[in-house]
Every structure is written in structure tokens, then in C-alpha cells.
Amino acid sequence: MFGLRRMKRPLHFITREHELELIQRLLTIVDDRNFHPNTTAVVMASPDYSATVAMHLAHAWSRDGDMLSLIPVHVAYPDEDPEDCRRRMELQIQDFRIYDHLVLVEAGIIRGSNWRWMLEVLTDVMGFRRDQITTVALCENLHSAVKSDYVAEYYDNNTHELMFYYERFNRHWTR
């Protein structure tokens, strides 16, 4: 057992080396031809988990000496109300509106509920069309309610619990 985390299923454990392999896989599969720093931003969903992958992708998608901007969006843990995060994102509207295209990046999609409310805010509140948004996941549960446009690796949350090498005890995951 890792720390005080209670595991009900075996781990789908992502090591640092495997994380870098998955980032490289994303760089080969994501169609970035239309990404340009003047028109595209990387939205780092859940920065506490996604900062590494978002930073690598934003740098790799650099053009003309500029990297894509990073916009952090905090998401709720399973025991928190996602409406607070939704309202915080809505307050960032000016950060988003200067771009024509957004690339949403998340390290781990478990349920897909964060993608759902983020896409709703971007389309219903901020006026983006769905074709102006690209969703990218390092790892995604096969049973996620919302499917990402690009995924480096799928796993089955019914049989395995996703865990990254950098995780430590987190009171929000103990239930």
C-alpha cells in the first residue's frame, strides 16, 4: 500500500519514465498543424496532476520561437462541489477569449465529469464551438462518460486504479 491510500483494485501505475513515453506518444498522434501561439492555448485541467504533460506539449507545439500559453483550470476532487471550480473558470473568461483554439490537457480522465463541465463552460458560456476545442488525455478510463479526442493510453478503472509516481497521501481520495 502506498502511504495511507486504500487500494480496492490493483494499480495502473504510471512511472516517470512511462509518463515521458506517453507524452512522446501524444506528440506523435495529436494533429497540431493548426496550433499556433497567437491563436491557441493549452488549458491545463487539474494542474496538480497535469502540469508536466501540459508543459511538455505546450513547448513541443512551439512555433516561430513562441510556445503556446498555459491556462490552469482547477477541478474538484470527488468529495468536492465542482460548481466552485466551474465558477472560477467562468471568471477567467478574458484569459480564454483571446484565443481561437483551445487544447484541453489532462493527465488522467477517470469519470469524464470534469471534461463535461469544462466543455459546457467553454461552449455555453464562453461561446467556443466544439471544433475549436481539442481534448487530450495522457491516460483515460475506458468507461469515461466523455471521450477525449486524443489519448496516449487507456486503462480500465473497473479493474485498476490509476496512480502516478508523484502522488502522496491525499485526504480527498480516502473513502
Q: Give residue-wise pLDDT tens across range 135-150.
A: 999 999 999 999 999 9
For 40-169, strand residue ranges (E) read 40-45, 69-73, 101-109, 133-141, 150-155, 161-164
Of 110, 150, 123, which is closest to residue 134 (Cα–Cα)?
Answer: 150
Q: Which three cell numbers stand for residue 154?
A: 487507456
Q: Give residue-wise pLDDT tens across range 47-81.
A: 999 999 999 999 999 999 999 999 999 998 878 88
| Domains, the chain, with CATH or none | 17-167 (3.40.50.2020)
